[in-house]
A and B are shown apart, each in its own frame.
Chain A
Amino acid sequence: MAAPLRNGLLRQANTCLRQARPTTIRPLSRDALRRLASTLAVLEQREGKLNMSSLASISAAQKLGGSIHGFVAGANGKTVADEAAKVDGLEKVIYVDNGAYDKGLPENWAPLLVENIKKGGYTHVFAGHSAFGKNLLPRVAALLDVQQISDITEIQGEDTFVRPIYAGNAILTVKSEDNPKIITVRGTAFPAGAAEGGSASVEEGADPKAECPTEWVSEDLAKSDRPDLATAEKVVSGGRGLKSKEEFDRLMPPLADALGAAIGASRAAVDSGFADNSLQVGQTGKNVAPQLYLCAGISGAIQHLAGMKDSKVIAAINKDPDAPIFQVADVGLVGDLFEKVPELTEKLKSS
């Protein structure tokens, strides 16, 4: 039950504010927020290194005002906490030093977070809408009897949030009276946050040492020197039009290298085995919002557009002049990608 979490004073203050402002959709003033909000930002780490893309939950929390505490856990909890303490915007970093949390398994992470959320009396808990955040936060929300808000793209007030639904074909604004508010944040919708400039205090958190019935067996991660797809400034993406894995591998990496871009793919390309699953851009893959999204041989199905239509500039090469991708592309080139992509690669390299 969430009841023990409800801080009487806070509620009172909230009620006063609500009465004073009947138009509740409007955000509260920054001063009021500073008094009210206190956010726990769940940060991700991997082998003792802070995952920079998880810092978006800090920049999201900064829009709320109020104090922001970061949370890390794992075998080198203290080391990661010291690294996180330098992140701009954090007041405190809470860490738990225990290798049992290294693999991010929700069975023991959820009780861990619940205990620390209760201890800290937070009004908001933010994590990235990453594989880790998606897996964990709903379990936490259920244990706290809270309806989570997933993948937010905007904060309109301490209780009002904006998120895409129907593969981004509608934008939903919701108001939550749950306390705490459990939220996952779309990384591309908030600035990444500065890794330097902060001087947070570091404090050890509570460790309930819940048993984990799940055993982590192995992983197989695609290794790449290219920029990370989710956070890259530029993305080149290939679809079914590439025809085969050989052609995908022949045409896309040189283009990506010429631009310093990450490589993405449509579901059709992934399903046909041209590209790895982890490269899929779209409703069920990754969301990207780079400065430049350059795609070849992608028709532009709504599920694909869901994952890339917030890109700053979209460029498309496709031989079908009526492909839906041209309705969203800032620059469209109708032509055979097997000619145009190599030509583009050469010209980019020599310019």
Chain B
Amino acid sequence: MATKLRILVPVKRVIDYAVKPRVNKAQTGVETNVKHSMNPFDELSIEEAVRLREKEKPVEDILAFSAGPAKSQDILRTAMAMGADRGIHVVEEKQEMEPLGVAKLLKKVVEQEDRNLVILGKQSIDDDANQTGQMLAGLLNWPQATQASQVDIDGDTCTVTREVDGGVETLRAKLPMIITTDLRLNEPRYASLPNIMKAKKKPLEKKTLADFGVDGEKRLKTVKVAEPPARQGGGKVEDVDGMIGKLKELGAL
């Protein structure tokens, strides 16, 4: 008998990938009064979890999780419309959590909810840290396969192909396990209207950090957030000779 997969998929609400973030005047962060969406890598995680069930792997349930402001609920509903069975939302309005804090929180969720597979995005496109999955694996002392582009589960054994510098590598480990998703893992589906309606009825629990005994205290202090140095487009040239001439002038050839 193969172990039933009890999957946890953490999702994060971030500024939509197509929006160009603007640094605020006080230089403390970026303007957040813009369109937000689910972190694109997290969509891949949900999609992969749902596909495991569709491939008739023994999936017991798929739990979507998010920590963040009240509006993160929308992201959890999206996850449920894509196929997650239920959601847990840790409401945290005060400040954005750091990867270490999130990993500690997720460890508690894994324990309380008896999970044996966690699928996370490889990074969130706001802080670009690329840490949470690895930290969670360390705290749980579980195997990890990051930047996955292919996942095969057979009984208790996961075979994962990872994107590495210069190509791919394949790893194998037994459940329980942590996987983080890379862009080429799958093509996330759009939630259909009937599924969006159904998702409204799926259970969504609201919790607090205190419920999990995690303080969420930040370790790093933001000194400043600044605009990157602006690059000036150098203008256009008429033809290929002009391009070669200009590149020589700039010392690039």
Chain B residues with Cβ below 8 Å from A167 are 125, 128
Q: Is the CB of B163 within 8 A of A131?
A: yes
Q: Can you name the residue of chain B whose Cβ is closest to the Cβ of A309?
A: B231
Q: Can you name the residue of chain A whose Cβ is closest to the Cβ of B249?
A: A331
How far apart sit A294 and B162, CA to CA, in the bound complex (Å)? 29
Q: Is the CB of B240 within 8 A of A340?
A: yes
What's the nearest-Cβ distance from chain B to residue A131, in Å? 4
Q: Is the CB of B243 within 8 A of A331?
A: yes
Chain A residues with Cβ below 8 Å from B220 are 147, 149, 174-176
User: Does B213 touch A at the CB level, under 8 Å?
Assistant: no
User: Does B54 touch A at the CB level, under 8 Å?
Assistant: no
Q: Is the CB of B135 within 8 A of A351?
A: no
How far apart sit A333 and B252, CA to CA, in the bound complex (Å)? 16
Q: Can you name the residue of chain B whose Cβ is closest to the Cβ of A328?
A: B231
Choice from A139, A278, A348 contacting B144 with Cβ under 8 Å: A139
How far apart sit A315 and B184, CA to CA, in the bound complex (Å)? 28
The stretch of B69-77, B83-91, B169-177 that contacts the partner chain:
B169-177
Q: Is the CB of A143 within 8 A of B138?
A: yes
How far apart sit A107 and B159, CA to CA, in the bound complex (Å)? 16
Tally of chain A residues near chain B (CB < 8 A): 91
What's the nearest-Cβ distance from chain B to residue A167, in Å? 6
Q: Is the CB of A331 within 8 A of B247?
A: yes
How far apart sit A32 and B226, CA to CA, in the bound complex (Å)? 28
Contact with A along B136-166 (1 / 0, CB 8 A): 1111001111110100000000010011111
Chain A residues with Cβ below 8 Å from B240 are 333, 340, 343-344, 347
What's the nearest-Cβ distance from chain A to residue B160, in Å? 9
How far apart sit A141 and B219, CA to CA, in the bound complex (Å)? 12
Tally of chain B residues near chain A (CB < 8 A): 80
User: Does A213 touch B at the CB level, under 8 Å?
Assistant: yes
What's the nearest-Cβ distance from chain A to residue B179, in Å? 12
Chain B residues with Cβ below 8 Å from A259 are 253
Q: Is the CB of B234 within 8 A of A219?
A: no
What's the nearest-Cβ distance from chain A to residue B18, in Å? 8
> Given known contacts A107-B144, A173-B223, is B228 in contact with A267 (CB within 8 Å)?
no
Q: Is the CB of A344 within 8 A of B244?
A: yes
Q: Is the CB of B20 within 8 A of A169?
A: yes
Choice from A147, A220, A292, A330 contacting B219 with Cβ under 8 Å: A147
Q: Can you name the residue of chain A whose Cβ is closest to the Cβ of B245?
A: A331
Q: Can you name the residue of chain B whose Cβ is closest to the Cβ of A147?
A: B219
Q: Is the CB of A220 within 8 A of B172?
A: no
What's the nearest-Cβ distance from chain B to residue A323, in Å? 11
User: Does B216 touch A at the CB level, under 8 Å?
Assistant: no
Q: Can you name the residue of chain A whose Cβ is closest to the Cβ of B250?
A: A313
How far apart sit A146 and B125, CA to CA, in the bound complex (Å)? 22
User: Does B233 touch A at the CB level, under 8 Å?
Assistant: yes
Chain B residues with Cβ below 8 Å from A171 are 225-228
> Given known contacts A164-B228, A284-B183, A348-B244, is B250 in contact with A216 (CB within 8 Å)?
no
What's the nearest-Cβ distance from chain B to residue A301, in Å? 9
Chain B residues with Cβ below 8 Å from A72 are none
Chain A residues with Cβ below 8 Å from B224 are 172-173
Chain B residues with Cβ below 8 Å from A135 are 134, 144, 146-147
Chain A residues with Cβ below 8 Å from B142 are 213
How far apart sit A55 and B221, CA to CA, in the bound complex (Å)? 28
Choice from B23, B169, B251 contacting A219 with Cβ under 8 Å: B169
Which A113-157 residues sit within 8 Å CB-CB of chain B?
A: 130-132, 134-143, 145-151
User: Does A94 touch B at the CB level, under 8 Å?
Assistant: no
User: Does A277 touch B at the CB level, under 8 Å?
Assistant: yes
Q: Is the CB of B100 within 8 A of A142?
A: yes
Q: Is the CB of A213 within 8 A of B173?
A: yes
Chain A residues with Cβ below 8 Å from B171 are 105, 214-217
How far apart sit A246 and B111, CA to CA, in the bound complex (Å)? 51
How far apart sit A267 and B136, CA to CA, in the bound complex (Å)? 29
Chain A residues with Cβ below 8 Å from B109 are none
Contact with B along A324-351 (1 / 0, CB 8 A): 0011111111110000100110011001
Choice from A137, A175, A177, A217 contacting B170 with Cβ under 8 Å: A217
Chain A residues with Cβ below 8 Å from B162 are 131
Chain B residues with Cβ below 8 Å from A320 are none
Which A210-242 residues sit within 8 Å CB-CB of chain B?
A: 213-222, 230, 234
A-B contact pairs, 15 of them (CB 8 A): A103-B169, A139-B138, A141-B135, A148-B100, A148-B131, A165-B225, A220-B169, A271-B184, A278-B166, A313-B247, A331-B234, A331-B237, A331-B250, A333-B236, A344-B244
A residues contacting B by CB (< 8 A) are 25, 103, 105-107, 110, 130-132, 134-143, 145-151, 160, 164-178, 213-222, 230, 234, 259, 267, 270-271, 276-278, 283-284, 286, 291-292, 302-303, 309, 312-315, 317, 321, 326-335, 340, 343-344, 347-348, 351
Apart from A135-B144, A149-B220, A340-B240, what 18 extra A-B contacts exist at CB < 8 Å? A131-B163, A142-B100, A148-B99, A165-B128, A170-B23, A170-B30, A170-B228, A174-B223, A175-B223, A221-B166, A286-B165, A292-B253, A331-B243, A331-B246, A331-B250, A332-B236, A344-B244, A347-B240
